[in-house]
């Protein structure tokens, strides 16, 4: 395994969701608590940043640069990781919804970014046709500008989602397999929010590496399932290559995505708000409006439409994002 900069407090817990399972009438639901990774307010990016920050330090970087939405949990975790590593951080943030709500503009992860000492630059979004492509292009432009100013920047793609970052979820897959073995638990499916591809790809590569053919189902968010699957498969193959795995160990059929309830990025819709409230009231666990709340909307839809049998065990990967909740306070009134 490649060098890591220690950030994760792990292994993160695997716990049952008995009240939610009973309420829904099966399957048996479990949650992998990667909202408890131990950096910022927790989340999946912490696992990825262990590899990316180590690479940045090995290359002599003095500033991390990344981009995301205004309330990006990835940006917030990058700011915290930079502080931990003694690096500066520049965040390029896009107010995608165009909201003027002062709570959204100043609270939640925006407030945390300030506390971590990150520099924040607002993006206009002008000319954007693809959210991820636009944000990554702006990140690369900032890296070039910093190089021209004599700095040593290290650019991190949206969601820390490249092959190196995906290795964090190879480790998570190994954790999950071991936790299931210790409990005597047969996992029938892992469900997660799949967006910038890295988390989903790392899980697929990690499960293939462990010869644990547990199905992984990614819940998309506006991107066509076919395009999302192609992106995940590409990153999974690249991550497997970094591990020295033979080509073909990760199979295209291992990558499955669906989008049962597509909504605009960062938009707190009624189904998302209801899903967040349902999990909070039944299990005392907080989801976020951007990723985990949307993933839960998808999981609830699949359960109610009969996608899973009542005797199956489904693990929901909680990828964090709690800090962003406080940027949506007005929307929950």
Catalytic residues: 72
CA-closest candidate to residue 54, choices 34, 90, 81, 88: 81
Paired tokens of 115 = 């506390």
What's the rounded Cα separation, in Å, for the pair 208 and 233?
A: 12
Phi, psi of 19 (to 5 degrees): -70, -40
Token pair in block for residue 32: 């992998």
Packing angle between helix 270-283 and helix 292-304, nearest 10 degrees?
A: 90
DSSP code at position 269: -
Whole-angstrom distance, CA of residue 176 vs CA of residue 196: 22
- Distance (Å, whole) CA 135 – CA 157: 8
Q: Look-up: residue for tokens 């291992």? A: 254
């Amino acid at each position: 395994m490649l060098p890591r900069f220690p950030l994760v407090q792990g292994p993160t817990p695997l716990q049952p969701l008995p009240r939610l399972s009973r309420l829904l009438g099966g399957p048996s639901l479990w949650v992998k608590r990667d909202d408890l990774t131990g950096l910022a307010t927790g989340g999946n990016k912490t696992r990825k940043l262990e590899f990316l920050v180590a690479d940045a330090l090995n290359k002599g970087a003095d500033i991390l640069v990344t981009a995301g939405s205004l309330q990006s949990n990835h940006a917030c975790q990058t700011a915290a990781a930079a502080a931990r590593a003694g690096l500066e951080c520049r965040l390029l943030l896009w107010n995608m919804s165009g909201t003027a709500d002062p709570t959204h503009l100043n609270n939640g992860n925006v407030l945390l970014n300030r506390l971590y000492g990150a520099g924040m630059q607002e993006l206009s979004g002008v000319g954007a046709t693809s959210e991820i492509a636009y944000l990554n292009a702006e990140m690369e432009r900032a890296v070039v500008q910093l190089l021209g100013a004599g700095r040593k920047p290290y650019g991190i793609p949206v969601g820390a989602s490249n092959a190196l970052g995906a290795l964090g979820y190879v480790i998570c897959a190994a954790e999950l397999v071991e936790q299931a073995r210790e409990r005597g638990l047969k996992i029938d499916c892992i469900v997660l929010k799949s967006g910038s591809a890295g988390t989903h790809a790392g899980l697929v590569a990690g499960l293939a590496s462990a010869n644990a053919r547990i199905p992984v189902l990614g819940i998309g968010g506006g991107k066509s399932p076919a395009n999302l699957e192609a992106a995940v498969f590409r990153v999974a193959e690249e991550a497997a290559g970094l591990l020295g795995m033979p080509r073909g160990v990760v199979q295209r059929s291992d990558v499955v995505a669906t989008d049962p309830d597509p909504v605009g990025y960062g938009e707190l819709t009624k189904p998302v708000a209801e899903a967040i409230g349902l999990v909070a009231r039944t299990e005392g666990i907080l989801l976020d409006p951007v990723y985990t709340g949307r993933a839960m909307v998808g999981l609830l839809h699949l359960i109610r439409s009969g996608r899973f049998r009542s005797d199956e065990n489904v693990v929901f990967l909680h990828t964090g994002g709690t800090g962003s909740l406080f940027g949506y306070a007005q929307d929950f009134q």
